[in-house]
Amino acid sequence: KNEVEQSPQNLTAQEGEFITINCSYSVGISALHWLQQHPGGGIVSLFMLSSGKKKHGRLIATINIQEKHSSLHITASHPRDSAVYICAVDTGNQFYFGTGTSLTVIP
Amino acid sequence: GAVVSQHPSRVICKSGTSVKIECRSLDFQATTMFWYRQFPKQSLMLMATSNEGSKATYEQGVEKDKFLINHASLTLSTLTVTSAHPEDSSFYICSAARETGLRGYTFGSGTRLTVV
């Protein structure tokens, strides 16, 4: 069993749709990261969370520490949001990564 | 499936020595692997992209002579930190591109390098 599970693995959406990506983890963490990775490999850090909720533009990330679950929401999705979204948890000693959610937003 | 093994997980070395970090895709072939570095409380930074059988492509500001990358086979890429200094102490992570089946990226578990 992986320490970090993401769902869905693949997601196709129409432009404008509301998108949710889920992340569950099984280890104790000091922080959870949501990352966006484009085909070239470069990673953009979207959020670093240790509790509650954060919002940046059309992106919202929430975390429930008791349930060991986090969600990434994208409102009014756009084709430029197409990328792989990765959930990663930092235990303080080590990172564990989800396998990513490949998002395609169709115009 | 799609497992990447990174070794070692932790290493402490003396200043001036070299350290090699290995990244292996265990059950798939990875023509492309990526190396990242993470400074404390910051996100991952892409250092270089390594393609099997060819020279790595380094990101701007990354010293190619200091961070030697070799991708000699479809399942193994290595990062060698040469003449390490304390400022090289960091967390290094590799990822391998899954180009068939479940496309995306699989990450290694990282290597924490401490240079003393």
pLDDT digits (tens, 9 = 90+) for B43-69: 677 899 888 888 899 988 999 999 999
CB contacts, 8 Å: A88 with chain B: 107
**Closest CA in chain B for residue A89:** B109
Is A45 a residue whose pLDDT tops 80? no
Identify which of B14, B15, B9, B20 has the alpha carbon closest to the alpha carbon of residue B72. B20
Identify which of A39, A40, A30, A48 has the alpha carbon closest to the alpha carbon of residue A87. A48
CB contacts, 8 Å: A97 with chain B: 95, 106-107
A87-to-A6, A30, A82, B81 alpha-carbon distances in Å: 7, 14, 16, 28
Q: What is the mean pLDDT of residues B73-98?
A: 91
| Radius of gyration, alpha carbons of chain A | 13
How far is Cα B38 from Cα A87, in angstroms, rounded to an integer? 16
Query: Which neighbouring-strand residues pair with B69?
Result: B79
Are A41 and B91 a contacting pair at CB < 8 A?
no
Of A33, A35, A41, the CB nearest to B34: A41
Is B91 a residue whose pLDDT tops 90? no
